[in-house]
Amino acid sequence: MEEKLKKIQQDFLNKTKDTKTLAQLDELFIALFGKNGQLDELSKQFKDVPKDELKKVGPLFNQIKQQLEISINEKRGTIRKQIYQSLQNEKFEIPSERTGRKEKKGHLHPVTQFEEDIVKLFEKLGFVQTDAPQIDTDYNNFEVLNIPENHPARDLWDTFYIDTTNYKLQTNKLLLRTHTSNAQIRILKNNKPPIRVMTLGRCFRYENADARHEHTFEQFEIVYVDKDVSMTHLQYLSEYFFKSILGKGIQARLRPKYYPFVEPGVGVDASCAFCKGKGCKVCAGTGWLELAGAGMIHPGVLTRGGIDPDQYSGIAWGVGIERMTMLKYGIEDLRSLKSGDLKFLGRF
Ligand SMILES: [Zn+2]
């Protein structure tokens, strides 16, 4: 037994001396002290050792165990010291030194820049910004906005529904919001008229991506509720927006359009900035571009938001941010905005 012990002692002292890395040292430590390691295995044999011999072997076992532990710890310290020294001697090069190129500063994405512009624009009119979740309930995204299940209007939004079968949730009807209008019920419930609130952010639809469509896109929307709010306000706000963003000469035109949560609903056109209304390729010869959707908030929606439609009226007005960014900067393909192409993004 004593011999076996001394053999382990010599063997592991040599091995410790030869190790070069912390990982090797860890392996050594486990082979020695770990469960079923060499010392563990040896101690299991103690029960067969005669009592007299055990009196001698016991203390020796402890002594050698301690010695080996200390030697491994010391070696660990030595290796660490070597690592620190080599790190101190290492010289870090920064890219501009290596390439000789001048340092390049980044900037906000054109869509973000544009969003900041719009927010400032409506802040001037007293609108405050709010937020709504990108994953929302079917109720907040559709039902509360007069779009019950199986309503044909649902076909207007190709929706990403979320499979919740494996989760214990209060509702199993979750989706990626198809529009920022999921903020409407929250805005109405959380505020008392006069309400001037704007919201913006990412929305999702199950669409094939092409030059004018993306499955992931940004929307901006305002909700304005007060006494005697009318279509006149809608016309004014549309013109205020277009003139501020696209230029003073731009006019706004309201055209009847169906959205279930407004009554009446309108498509909002801007006179074409490219041909000044004469008709060109961009506006398909019409002189107008449809840029926003809006309308008077439906009395049913107001009621669900806790607002008396006999006392108050409101407008909702929304625009696709990427579409406006394209128009403002003359970008031809919507997909380039999310391409991550620095050459393209560097232009803005
Ligand atoms: Zn045109």
> Average model confidence (pLDDT) for the chain?
89
Instruction: For residue 320, give the H/E element and its range.
Output: strand 313-320
Q: Is 30 helix (H, G, I), strand (E, B) or coil?
A: helix
Query: What is the model's pLDDT at position 237?
Result: 95
Domain 110-345 fold: BirA Bifunctional Protein; domain 2 (3.30.930)
Does 93 score more than 90 pLDDT?
no
Average pLDDT over residues 298-318: 95
Tell me, in angstroms, the distance from the centre of ligand 1 to residue 284's CA.
7
Q: Pick from 136, 135, 187, 154: which is nearest to 297 by CA? A: 187
Share of the chain above pLDDT 90, in %: 48
User: Distance, CA 280 to ligand 1 centroid (Å)?
Assistant: 4
What's the CA-to-centroid distance between 277 and ligand 1, angstroms?
Answer: 6
**Mean pLDDT computed over 23-28:** 90
What percentage of residues in the chain have a pLDDT greater than 70? 96
SS (HEC) of 245-291 = HHCCCCCEEEEECCCCCEEEEEEEEEECCCCCCCCCCCCCCCCEEEE
Q: What is the pLDDT of residues 196-231, one digit of tens each?
A: 999 999 999 998 888 778 899 999 999 999 999 999
Q: What is the mean pLDDT of residues 278-286?
A: 87
**Higher-scoring residue by pLDDT: 171, 150:** 150
pLDDT of residue 53: 84
CA of 281 to the centre of ligand 1 (A): 6
- Section 246-271 average pLDDT: 93
Active site residues: 157, 179, 205, 219, 262, 316
Q: Which of 31-40, 129-138, 252-261 has the lowest mean pLDDT?
A: 31-40
What is the 154 CA–ligand 1 centroid distance (Å)? 32
Distance 113 CA to ligand 1 centre (A): 25
The pLDDT of 174-180, averaged and rounded, is 93
